[in-house]
């Protein structure tokens, strides 16, 4: 049965290739001329990671299905390279090196040939540039149908490839292995700005845009929850419990009754919007230097880093937590069966938090923070050795703006790897096997395909405003703060962070004020700390941060 399906798909691909230009699905975007009869047949390579379970047969079937669409729409064929995720980075780096070497050798050979022609006093103006033949080559297939003949990918060609991580993004950009796509974002691919959140595009631009980030919800909300029935039972109203710090009396009241099925405060809570400075962007380790994101913070005007122990909100929240801990009213963040909590802060997405709305009053404690990882961990770049930047960007744009191609790359071939649910029509899908398995965040704009099995496209509606409401980490794209003058100071700071945090954690509520005073006195005499926090010192973290912000924005 499977063999019949496969044969049918292959025949379908051939027939569709023959009917080039007969039908085009409109996506609403402005694109280059898509009349395939007037465009040169071209083959582009696409390199990306896949799950170890993906079979070679599935890869070929997906490649064929993709080509049905891209050949008809753009007269562009795709040579699909899906590499096991654990091997992808090593494989793509080796391939880039191989193609780079091949191009260097090719250029050297061409220069040698030009010198030879010059020595022979050949006055012809023969071009050594590769040009595209404007004629569409066709062949007669075994069914007697005239079909377009697509060229093979040359040894000196690599087109679209998946990029993960800021370090790799920077490496490829600075080494010129990836091309700037700014001209395309201002031209035929400008529709991407309507499909990818501005924060993603703006954050990635520095000295140029060298990859297109895959659009997805970034960061998660922190929600403040208050138990409805306990509020009523203890005669409190929402005006009395509008924030974590203002919920103190309510939590203590509930705690004093020592109910077995109630945890007064679900778990430890940090002050809202805290982002700690570390040697990597988005560091979650506590630090003596931090920034607190507020409702007024924006990507271009973020809160600059400052001394954590000088932050009044942080200190007040810390004291609040220590007092509740002294009463034994702070849980470990988990609940036993049958338990509930009076007050809690939960990190969740917009759908998950709905599970609590019947029993709890819910408000936002902190907005999602978009980190460097959120943006740079999943992107598509165009190699400098691409056959065509504009044609490659057409494919990337197609993946970000259209559901059919996006779904094939994510879930495979309809009827082989997945099918529409018989009860819901094309509203939801069913996965048929694990022969083809991809990470939804790595295959393009997540909003353009089904979130998963039995999940409709409408699921994404809740998330479409998510990144609009999110705030970027103030340490996004953080450059190296380490120089010859402050390297030792930063090493000392990293040690101090752990030592100070341990002392604060060990301090009881009654000891906290004196412990913090002692620490601040010690820090006042610490040359390394003071150098790094001094906004006037060119080697300080604060100075370098402000200088970087001003030069970049």
Q: Give me the tens of pLDDT residue by residue for the chain, a chain 553 residues long.
A: 444 444 444 444 443 443 333 333 333 333 444 445 578 999 999 999 999 999 999 999 999 999 999 999 999 999 999 999 999 999 999 999 999 999 999 988 888 888 888 777 655 444 444 444 444 576 665 656 666 789 999 999 999 999 999 889 989 999 999 999 999 999 999 999 999 987 788 777 666 899 999 999 988 899 999 999 999 999 999 888 999 999 999 999 999 999 999 999 999 999 998 988 876 544 568 999 998 887 655 545 557 789 999 999 999 999 999 999 999 999 999 999 999 999 999 999 898 999 999 999 999 999 888 888 888 899 999 999 999 999 999 999 999 999 999 999 999 999 999 999 988 888 999 999 999 999 999 999 999 999 999 999 999 988 888 887 888 777 776 556 778 888 899 999 999 999 999 999 999 999 999 999 999 999 999 999 999 999 899 988 888 888 877 765 5
Q: Which two tokens stand for residue 277?
A: 């400075």
Q: For residue 417, how far is the Cα from the chain centroid? A: 26
Rounded Cα distance between 73 and 33, Å, is 10
- pLDDT value at position 513? 96
Cα dist from 391 to 72, 189, 498, whole Å: 14, 10, 51
Residues ≥6 apart with Cβ < 8 Å to 527: 489
Q: Which two tokens stand for residue 510?
A: 């009654």
Residue of 220, 211, 213, 180 whose CA lies nearest to 197: 213
Q: Which two tokens stand for residue 368?
A: 């999602």
Kind of pairing between the strands at 146-148 and 76-84: unpaired
- Residue 306: strand pairing partners: 290
Q: What is the DSSP string of 272-307?
A: TTEEE--SSTT--S--SEEEE--TT--SSSPPPPEE
How many residues are recorded in the chain?
A: 553
Q: Which two tokens stand for residue 181?
A: 């796509």
Helices 312-327 and 509-524: crossing angle in degrees, nearest 10, is: 150
Rounded Cα distance between 17 and 110, Å, is 35
Q: Which two tokens stand for residue 540?
A: 């300080």
- pTM given for the model: 0.78
How many Cβ atoms sit within 10 Å of the Cβ of residue 40? 18
CA terminus-to-terminus distance, the chain: 60
- pLDDT value at position 544? 84
Rounded Cα distance between 48 and 162, Å, is 5
In this structure, are residues 415 and 370 in contact, taking their beta carbons and an 8 Å threshold?
no
Q: In what order do the strands lie in the sheet with 306-307?
A: 274-276, 289-292, 306-307
Sign of CA dihedral 372, 378, 383, 386: negative
Helix, strand or coil for residue 81? strand
């Amino acid at each position: 049965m499977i063999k019949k399906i496969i044969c049918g798909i292959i025949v379908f691909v051939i027939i569709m290739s023959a009917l080039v230009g007969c039908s085009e699905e409109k996506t609403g975007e402005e694109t280059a001329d898509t009349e395939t009869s007037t465009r040169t047949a071209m083959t582009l390579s696409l390199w990306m990671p896949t799950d170890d379970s993906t079979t070679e047969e599935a890869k070929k079937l997906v490649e064929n299905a993709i080509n049905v669409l891209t050949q008809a729409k753009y007269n562009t064929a795709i040579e699909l390279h899906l590499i096991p995720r654990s091997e992808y980075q090593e494989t793509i780096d080796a391939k880039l090196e191989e193609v780079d070497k091949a191009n260097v050798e090719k250029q050297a050979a061409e220069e040698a040939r030009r010198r030879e022609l010059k020595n022979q006093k050949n006055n012809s103006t023969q071009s050594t540039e590769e040009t595209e033949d404007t004629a569409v080559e066709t062949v007669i297939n075994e069914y007697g149908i005239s079909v377009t003949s697509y060229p093979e990918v040359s040894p000196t060609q690599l087109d679209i490839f998946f990029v993960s991580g800021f370090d790799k993004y920077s490496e490829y950009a600075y080494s010129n292995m990836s091309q700037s796509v700014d001209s395309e974002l201002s031209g035929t691919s400008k529709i991407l700005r309507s499909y990818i959140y501005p924060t993603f595009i703006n954050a990635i631009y520095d000295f140029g845009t060298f990859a297109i980030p895959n659009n997805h919800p970034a960061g998660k909300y922190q929600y403040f929850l208050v138990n409805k029935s306990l509020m009523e039972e203890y005669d409190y109203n929402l005006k009395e419990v509008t924030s974590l710090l203002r919920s103190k009396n309510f939590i203590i009241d509930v705690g004093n009754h020592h109910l077995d099925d109630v945890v007064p405060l679900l778990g430890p809570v940090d002050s809202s919007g805290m982002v700690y400075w570390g040697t990597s962007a988005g560091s979650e380790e506590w630090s003596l230097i931090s920034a607190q994101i507020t409702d007024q913070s924006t990507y271009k005007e973020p809160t600059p880093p400052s001394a954590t122990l000088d932050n009044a909100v942080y200190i007040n929240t810390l004291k609040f937590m220590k007092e509740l801990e002294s009463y034994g009213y702070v849980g470990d963040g988990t609940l036993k069966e049958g338990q509930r909590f009076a007050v809690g802060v939960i990190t969740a997405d917009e759908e998950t938090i709905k599970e609590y709305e019947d029993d709890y009053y819910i408000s936002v404690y902190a907005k999602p923070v978009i980190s460097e990882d959120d943006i740079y961990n999943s992107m598509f770049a165009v190699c400098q050795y691409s056959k065509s930047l504009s044609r490659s960007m057409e494919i990337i744009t197609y993946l970000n703006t259209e559901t059919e191609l996006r779904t094939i790359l994510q879930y495979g071939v309809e009827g082989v790897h997945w099918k529409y649910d018989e009860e819901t029509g094309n509203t939801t899908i069913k996965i048929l096997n694990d022969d083809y398995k991809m990470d939804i965040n790595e295959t393009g704009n997540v909003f353009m395909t089904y979130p998963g099995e039995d999940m409709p496209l409408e699921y994404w509606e809740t998330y479409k405003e998510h990144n609009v409401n999110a705030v970027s980490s103030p340490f996004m794209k953080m450059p190296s703060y380490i120089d010859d003058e402050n390297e030792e100071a930063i090493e000392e700071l990293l040690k101090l962070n752990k030592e100070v945090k341990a002392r604060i954690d060990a301090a009881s509520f009654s000891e906290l004020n004196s412990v913090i005073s002692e620490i601040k006195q010690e820090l006042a005499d610490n040359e390394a700390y003071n150098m790094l926090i001094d906004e006037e010192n060119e080697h300080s973290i604060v100075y370098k941060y402000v200088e970087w912000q001003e030069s970049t924005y």
